[in-house]
């Protein structure tokens, strides 16, 4: 049985600039669209004003009726954090994550194995309206010793 490092943390507002799509999990896995958006984003990172660093965020916003399944479309935001919004590059959007208390779970291992971590999260905390992944280095996502920070709101 896998064990997880779990902490409760306070997060300040997160301002993001990047791409947004609405797709089901099944379509995302089949088409690898989030991977494509992540690559496009990093190729255009120089266009993003006031970027905080090299890490990339994935914000997943689920339907508010709680009826989420892998077939139900939901919003995915792939973006860089910025200190403030400047001129937004063509085809990109802004998104703001409200401040608050979050449960932080660290997924250890390849990104392709992250489903087991989400199984743990959903069994332990239930399906939440939003979750946040933070990829410190997208080039190491398939490394067996890689880490992905996952944040879910406490309420």
31-72 pLDDT per residue, tens: 999 999 999 999 999 999 999 989 999 999 988 766 778 899
Output the six-digit token pair for 146. Answer: 């890689």
Q: What is the pLDDT of residue 66?
A: 64
Q: What is the pLDDT averaged over residues 9-32?
A: 96
pLDDT, the chain, mean: 92
Q: What is the phi-psi region of residue 118: left when phi exceeds 0, alpha when psi lies from -120 to 50, beta otherwise?
A: alpha
What is the C-alpha separation between 102 and 46, in angstroms, rounded? 30
72-116 pLDDT per residue, tens: 999 999 999 999 999 999 999 999 999 999 999 999 999 999 999
Residue extents of the structural domains in the chain: 19-50+59-99+127-135
Q: What is the pLDDT of residue 1?
A: 60
Look at residue 155 and tell me whether its pLDDT is greater than 80.
no
């Amino acid at each position: 049985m896998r064990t997880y490092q779990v902490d409760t943390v306070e997060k300040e507002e997160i301002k993001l600039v990047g791409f947004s799509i609405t797709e089901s999990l099944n379509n995302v896995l089949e088409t690898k669209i989030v991977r494509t958006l992540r690559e496009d984003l990093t190729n255009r990172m120089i266009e993003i004003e006031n970027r905080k660093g090299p890490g990339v965020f994935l914000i997943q916003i689920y339907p508010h009726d709680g009826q989420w399944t892998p077939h139900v479309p939901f919003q995915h935001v792939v973006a860089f954090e910025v200190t403030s919004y400047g001129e937004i590059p063509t085809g990109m959007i802004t998104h703001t994550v409200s401040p608050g208390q979050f449960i932080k779970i660290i997924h250890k291992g390849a990104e392709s194995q992250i489903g087991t971590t989400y199984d743990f999260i959903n069994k332990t905390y239930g399906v939440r309206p939003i979750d946040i992944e933070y990829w410190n280095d997208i080039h190491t996502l398939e490394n067996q010793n890689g880490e992905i920070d996952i944040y879910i709101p406490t309420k």
